[in-house]
Chains A and B, each alone.
Chain A
Amino acid sequence: EPEVTQTPSHQVTQMGQEVILRCVPISNHLYFYWYRQILGQKVEFLVSFYNNEISEKSEIFDDQFSVERPDGSNFTLKIRSTKLEDSAMYFCASVRDRDLYNEQFFGPGTRLTVL
């Protein structure tokens, strides 16, 4: 069964460093998402992406964040200068098309720890 994969599973970085979180969505899916969950808090929407551009982004997704689909298979989230409060679990998701009733398929997450 096709699945969304994410690498790495755990990333530790120093404050101020750049990190890139990688996701491989399901191959025939067209819409891609990043969510994050700070420990003990809700899963929060960060950004959605379609047709090589951002469809929607949340207030959290400021200028320090960017997304890219560089090669037709990977979908990346870059944080330019990490802050302590960026420590969280980051989930990638994809969906075949934009429909309320379609299931979003999630990856296992990347745990980001900023020291």
Chain B
Amino acid sequence: GNSVTQMEGPVTLSEEAFLTINCTYTATGYPSLFWYVQYPGEGLQLLLKATKADDKGSNKGFEATYRKETTSFHLEKGSVQVSDSAVYFCALSVPQGGSEKLVFGKGTKLTVNP
């Protein structure tokens, strides 16, 4: 089946620290990969995506590279800010002739302290 595993949180960092949140997946087909972010009191928002191997998705200083050989899509940011405090979800979608539903990881809560 299709599944996503991401590192357990919570993660607490100081401002300007380097961030990595690990994400690995298993998929029966050729998935598209996503990172969604949820700020307190808000819905899930797409942060970045990659649709084929070796693609790099990037947005707001965050990056993730689609690695087919290691089935990974790790999220990185070189210098985090307090405003990055949120819950981050790794997800995949696989064409199945249905509805292209998203399969999510458990989420990783990030807290950035000033």
A interface residues with partner B (beta carbon < 8 Å): 3-4, 6, 31, 33, 35, 40-45, 48, 50, 55-56, 91, 93, 98-101, 103-109
Query: Which residues from chain A contact B95 at a C-beta distance below 8 Å?
Result: 100
Q: Classify chain B: how many residues form its interface, as a range.
A: 20 to 34
B42 contacts the other chain (Cβ, under 8 Å)?
yes
B interface residues with partner A (beta carbon < 8 Å): 4, 32, 36, 41-46, 49, 51, 89, 91, 93, 95, 98-107
A99 vs B95: C-alpha distance when bound (angstroms): 9
Query: Which residues from chain A contact B36 at a C-beta distance below 8 Å?
Result: 106
Contact indicator A91/B43 (Cβ below 8 Å): yes
Given A33-B101, A108-B42, 4 more A-B residue pairs with CB atoms under 8 Å apart are A31-B99, A33-B99, A42-B105, A104-B102
Query: Which residues from chain A contact B103 at a C-beta distance below 8 Å?
Result: 45
